[in-house]
Amino acid sequence: MAKSLTQMAADIVAAQSSHVSMSADEMDAALKKVFEALKEIKGIEETPAGEAVDDELARLRANPMKSIKRAHVINLEDGSKYKQLTAKTLAKFGLTAKEYRKKWGFSARQALSAKSLSAKRRKVAKALGLADKLAAARMARSKAATEKKAAPAKKKRAPAKKKRAPAKKKRAPAKKKRAPAKKKKAPSKRKKVPAKKKKAPSKRKKA
């Protein structure tokens, strides 16, 4: 006679407790967890392959975070498995990574890759000190934004009025030049010849 799920769960927990010391509460929690797992497995076995895929995808869509597994990530659009959901893969469904996250309720920073791959990337980033550099850059941006807010807004200066060029003095009309005075003729140096003296009447008497 086949064992019931409860009996199977009890056997598994009993085997586990023989290797690890467990309190009564821990055994109770383990029993429930194993029972749920066995129930899920039995449901998958009893469901035809096509229906099982659709049913699993429906469950993942109801709880998207469960689509990100240790070794792979399940595309919630068609149920296929990938190491990482790339832009090229999502483009087939007319989505970008940002749109995919928004559609299925992921946070903006959630990596769309297998947990093992994300862990490896975090390890490399830590070794290179990228986290500290990123934190420093964020702090610097935040500080700059705070200082900018705190600084009083500078009043815009009115554009300086253009100085008018000093009015050019009007030139006085040019005085007409006087014609040079005509030179006076120098008095003639020629001396007047004295008039000839009249001859004195001859004193000779007539014979």
pLDDT tens, position by position, 178-202: 666 665 665 555 655 565 555 556 5
Q: Which pLDDT belongs to residue 207?
A: 44
Inform me whether the pLDDT recorded for 47 exceeds 60: no
Residues 81, 72: Cα–Cα separation, whole Å: 6
Average pLDDT score over residue span 30-54: 72
Inter-CA distances, 53 with 40, 43, 44, 74, Å: 13, 12, 9, 12
Taking the CB of residue 133, how many other CB atoms lie within 10 A of it? 11
Residues 81, 176: Cα–Cα separation, whole Å: 109
Average pLDDT for the chain = 77
Q: Which pLDDT belongs to residue 69?
A: 92
3 state DSSP class of 86: coil
Structural domain boundaries of the chain?
A: 1-46, 63-148
pLDDT tier at 55, thresholds 50, 70, 90 = confident
Contacts 24+ apart (CB under 8 A), 98-107: 104/61, 104/64, 104/67, 104/76, 105/64, 106/64, 106/65
Q: At what angle do helices 115-128 and 130-150 cross, to 10 degrees?
A: 70
pLDDT tens, position by position, 95-117: 999 999 999 999 999 999 999 98
Average pLDDT score over residue span 67-78: 93
CA nearest neighbour of 40 among 15, 66, 22 = 66
CATH 1.10.10.1550 fits 63-148, yes or no: yes
Give the CA radius of gyration of the chain.
Answer: 60
Please give the residue that has the higher pLDDT: either 88 or 2.
88
Residue 189 CA, chain-centre distance (Å), reads: 109
